[in-house]
Structure 1
Amino acid sequence: MATAEVTEVSEKTMSVKPKTPGADRWAEGAIFAAGDALEEHRSFTIEEIVESGDDCLGLRVVLQAKEGTYTGVINYVLPASRRFALEKVVNPRTGQRRVGLLTFFFHTIISITVVGEDREARQRLLKDAYKEDKGGKQLLMKKLVPPHLAASNDNNDLCSDASSVKRRERRGREPKEGKNKASPPPPPPPPPPSPRISRPSNWLIIDAINEAFMKAVCLLRTELVISISAVGQNIGRSGTLSILAAATPDIIFLFDVAKIGLSKLLTSGVADILLDDGIVKVIHDCRGLEDLLHHQCGVNLTNIFDTQASEIFIYMLNHQRRVPLFVSSLPSLLIGYLGLAPQHTFWPTDEEDESIWLERPLSSKLCEGVACTVRYLKELRLAQISRMLVDLTQITNIYLGSLKDKDSATAERLESHVVPVEIQKLGRTTDFNTPKVFDPRVSFTRDSYKTAPSPK
């Protein structure tokens, strides 16, 4: 047993102070003791093991737990997670060895008896503990090194430690050098793809019933299709409408409802536009605006094309009439259908921030955001209609070639009142139907189509 200088003695444990610092300390080691003498084959509680700290590492013990009795070498003790591990574990009854570590929780341990020490394990474990004291805890799990590789591994550790110090020094200098260098500006967002129809780029705020208001109402009345959007706080029957946006192919009008007043806005001509059956109003998610107008002003929207409802219908067409559970947001539709970048769309704020729509004056960023909610709606409507009419387009293309692609003999035999065979194959069955007849000279029977001679 190596010589050690005793410095402190207590009733439970005796810690030792080595004569040589550093790695020599862990090479010499010190046996765990209690009282004035070094005692082996004595039982200790887990609290006494924890109090000993790193001095218990490498000790060979007999551990009695609730599930059985084991002999092994103490590998680590973790007081924070209340765990205890042994290596080189052997079942004393059968003599069978276990591979790896065997972990116990403190509450499952009954007693621990120290029967000696494992010099190789103690030297290795205490050396690792010394490195952690000097260099900090390791982030990776500790790897057990076989005894025959310990000598060569020492040299590798020295090289790796030196290189790691150099890497840490370089990493320490890099942030200081980076602070002096100006970071490059972020790249500009890509331009939006070419539009299918004209997109309004300019927007105008209208906050009073004046000449500009009347011109805007007259211009909106002349359009067959307009886009509308609404923002405010808690849009609905108990909410407050702040901005009502309406877009034509050339300009976007932002009606400041918070300044004008909702009732005054509607009675000055806007309600006539919302109620006009001859004007298609394109909107994304009309539920909140309809609920607000109906309960606060008694106005109901008419001739609405809702892009969110249209997406539900398209989903049903493509999934055998199954209905989706969640709705689609406007930015996701614009990105998916029109190929816009996320920077060209407007992502609304959270509910707790909706009060910013009632502050005046509104920032240009918020105004531009409201304009984005109506700028692309008409173009999105056309893209959705094209998606809805995919089957019709397919049938039309078949119709175009049903006669021209035939040879002359076959074309003469085809009957114009019969659906082309290529289209009949698209359906599961072919139904006999009787079309409505408005020509008195034409009569249909089950198997014939007759045309009476025209009167002279």
Structure 2
Amino acid sequence: MVVDDIQFLSILKGKRIKLTLKNASYLGIVQRINPNKTIVLADVVGANNGGRYPGSKMFFGHEIVNDDDEDDDDEEFINFVVIDEFHGKFGPAVMHIKKQQVIGIGADGVEIYKHGRLCWLQIATKHKVFLFDILLLGARAFKNGLTMILQSKNILKVMHDCRAIAGCLSTQFGVNVTNVFDTQVADVMCFYSETGGLLPDRVSTLQEVISLHLKVPSSQLLSLKMKSELAQEKAMWYKRPCPLPLLKVMALSVIHLHPLRLVLLDTLMTDYMLLVDSYLKSSHFQPDKLDHITMESVLELPKELRQLEQIRSDRQDWATGQFPVTDQGLLDRFNPRMSKSSESQQEQPKPKRECMKASSTSLFVGRGHSDSLMDSKNNGAFPGKSPSQLGIGRGLFLQTPPAQKPGECAANTASDEAAEAPKSLLQSFRSFRD
């Protein structure tokens, strides 16, 4: 089977997209993308005037245009380089990567999770993505520098689910990857902390982690979903030259790894930073209290640290009320219980993330929790056994406004079928048109 741009775009079938023509723009659901370079949309609405067109409407590929201003958008500009030969680009790429302290790693091919055939290795630096064509370069690519990079203890490799990549590299090329930050593991650790030591029923996909932690709209992550669907088509990975839309999708799959690592690290450190902040704000070491300090009192476990058990208990109470529990005792993380009140509160504006402040009254921990660790009226004790409040914002929110209610920070990670297709997909219509 030959996979070309038309077949690649056929993944859009059933999705609502926006088509920009020379004289108008239209929104509609893709019914068919034909070999004669025509597209049939249903439920068509004029983007300019809102007028509806009954039945189906056909568009010709040569009529479809792209707004150059949109194509130049920073979010859509992907600086990637295809490395498919040793002469010219391979050496400079390896030298550039060796100078990095942190890189993002991705891999694609035929059933690499079963130690199949590795065809592409993606390496993302801060401002550039290198796509190494392993199918053409072969094992020589690793002997000429990639092995040194992947096994270096001085370069941190950021991956999402490193199991398949590490197993494939070890089995096929004898490369043992070291110094890895796995965003899938970090996401589970964040959830574990937020729920007081409870585990989810499954791990998260890269698309889910990016949407949850980086707040990227689902409509802009359609390319990653397409990539997972295209991964089932074995012939696609062997096609050379590789279709441009597929190259862009592979590059997109690693450009989020750098910021994702920083956000996850920040979330993992939230509880620690909270406790340190409570130390800094403790009255125990204020000047007027110094006369009462003894060696025994300095070594006593402070009340701030004694509250850790209560924090864990309150979070568990919240988590079991928020998520259904499976027969295995795991939390059904992606099917939370949604009450009418929380649904209405999701529509309210999200509070902005704030830095650590002096007061510890009412705070949001990590992505998911609001724990009232201290209450001024209760002299720092927990206010009863009220469950933690849901919040999907990142980091720590202190001094929550009085109007804040449970669920107000909840993020809507469900796919928005009415959203426009991301510009990267619209841009791929250029080759379809021509």
Counting aligned pairs with the same residue, the percent is 26
Greater RCO (CA < 8 Å, at least 6 residues apart): 2
Q: Which residue in 2 is equivalent to 1:210?
A: 87
Q: Which residue in 1 is equivalent to 2:304?
A: 423
1:364 aligns with 2:241: no
Per-residue deviation, 1:223? 0.9
Change (3 A) 1:398 1:238: closer
Q: Which residue in 1 is equivalent to 2:327?
A: none
> Is the Cα contact below 8 Å between 1:200 and 1:251 reproduced in 2?
no
1:378 aligns with 2:258: yes
Q: Which of 178, 192, 216 is residue 302 of structure 1 equivalent to? A: 178
Q: Which residue in 2 is equivalent to 1:332?
A: 208
Which amino acid is 1:204 matched to? V
Which amino acid is 2:280 matched to? L
Q: Which of 266, 279, 289 is residue 165 of structure 2 equivalent to? A: 289
Q: Which residue in 2 is equivalent to 1:252?
A: 129
Q: Which of 250, 268, 272 is residue 144 of structure 2 equivalent to? A: 268
> Is the Cα contact below 8 Å between 1:199 and 1:250 reproduced in 2?
no
Per-residue deviation, 1:411? 4.1
Per-residue deviation, 1:237? 5.1
Which amino acid is 2:96 matched to? L
> Is the Cα contact below 8 Å between 2:78 and 2:248 reproduced in 1?
no
Report the secondary structure of 2:199's partner residue.
coil
Per-residue deviation, 1:241? 1.0
Q: Which of 296, 317, 336 is residue 193 of structure 2 equivalent to? A: 317
> Is the Cα contact below 8 Å between 2:81 and 2:129 reproduced in 1?
yes
**Separation in 1, partners of 2:76, 2:233:** 29
Per-residue deviation, 1:402? 1.8
- C-alpha RMSD over aligned residues: 3.5
Change (3 A) 1:266 1:415: farther
> Is the Cα contact below 8 Å between 2:124 and 2:254 reproduced in 1?
yes
Change (3 A) 1:391 1:274: same
**Separation in 1, partners of 2:58, 2:125:** 50
Change (3 A) 1:419 1:356: farther
Q: Which residue in 1 is equivalent to 2:268?
A: 388
**Separation in 2, partners of 1:273, 1:219:** 11
1:413 aligns with 2:289: no
**Separation in 2, partners of 1:378, 1:179:** 42
Q: Which of 101, 104, 112 is residue 224 of structure 1 equivalent to? A: 101
Per-residue deviation, 1:353? 1.3
Per-residue deviation, 1:342? 2.5
Report the secondary structure of 2:232's partner residue.
helix
Which amino acid is 1:397 matched to? D
Which amino acid is 2:89 matched to? A
Which amino acid is 1:367 matched to? L
> Is the Cα contact below 8 Å between 2:115 and 2:167 reproduced in 1?
no
Change (3 A) 1:180 1:273: closer
Report the secondary structure of 1:223's partner residue.
coil
> Is the Cα contact below 8 Å between 1:232 and 1:355 reproduced in 2?
no
**Separation in 2, partners of 1:328, 1:358:** 28
C-alpha distance after superposition, 1:371-408 (max 9, x if no partner): 1111010111111111111210111111221259x753
**Separation in 1, partners of 2:105, 2:58:** 49
Report the secondary structure of 1:215's partner residue.
helix
Relative to structure 2, which stretch is displaced further, 226-235 or 316-325?
A: 316-325
C-alpha distance after superposition, 1:181-219 (max 9, x if no partner): 99xx9999xx9xx99xx9983001010112321111111
**Separation in 2, partners of 1:359, 1:180:** 30
- Specify the structure having the higher radius of gyration (Cα): 1
> Is the Cα contact below 8 Å between 1:200 and 1:247 reproduced in 2?
no
Which amino acid is 1:219 matched to? H
> Is the Cα contact below 8 Å between 1:199 and 1:249 reproduced in 2?
no
Per-residue deviation, 1:420? 7.2
C-alpha distance after superposition, 1:29-80 (max 9, x if no partner): xxxxxxxxxxxxxxxxxxxxxxxxxxxxxxxxxxxxxxxxxxxxxxxxxxxx
Report the secondary structure of 1:349's partner residue.
helix
> Is the Cα contact below 8 Å between 2:115 and 2:164 reproduced in 1?
no
1:279 aligns with 2:155: yes
Per-residue deviation, 1:250? 1.4
1:342 aligns with 2:218: yes
Which amino acid is 2:154 matched to? G
Change (3 A) 1:271 1:410: same
What are structure 2's unaligned runs of at least 5 residues?
1-52, 311-434
Change (3 A) 1:419 1:427: farther
Aligned residues: 246
Per-residue deviation, 1:236? 3.7
Which amino acid is 1:379 matched to? P
> Is the Cα contact below 8 Å between 2:105 and 2:157 reproduced in 1?
yes
Q: Which residue in 2 is equivalent to 1:62?
A: none
**Separation in 2, partners of 1:390, 1:186:** 47
**So what's the TM-score if we normalise by structure 1?**
0.48
Report the secondary structure of 2:176's partner residue.
coil
Per-residue deviation, 1:289? 1.4
Change (3 A) 1:181 1:320: closer
What are structure 1's unaligned runs of at least 5 residues?
1-173, 430-456
Change (3 A) 1:420 1:321: closer
Change (3 A) 1:253 1:415: farther
Per-residue deviation, 1:323? 3.0
Change (3 A) 1:427 1:250: closer
**Separation in 2, partners of 1:323, 1:390:** 19
Per-residue deviation, 1:352? 3.2
> Is the Cα contact below 8 Å between 1:275 and 1:301 reproduced in 2?
yes
> Is the Cα contact below 8 Å between 2:83 and 2:131 reproduced in 1?
yes
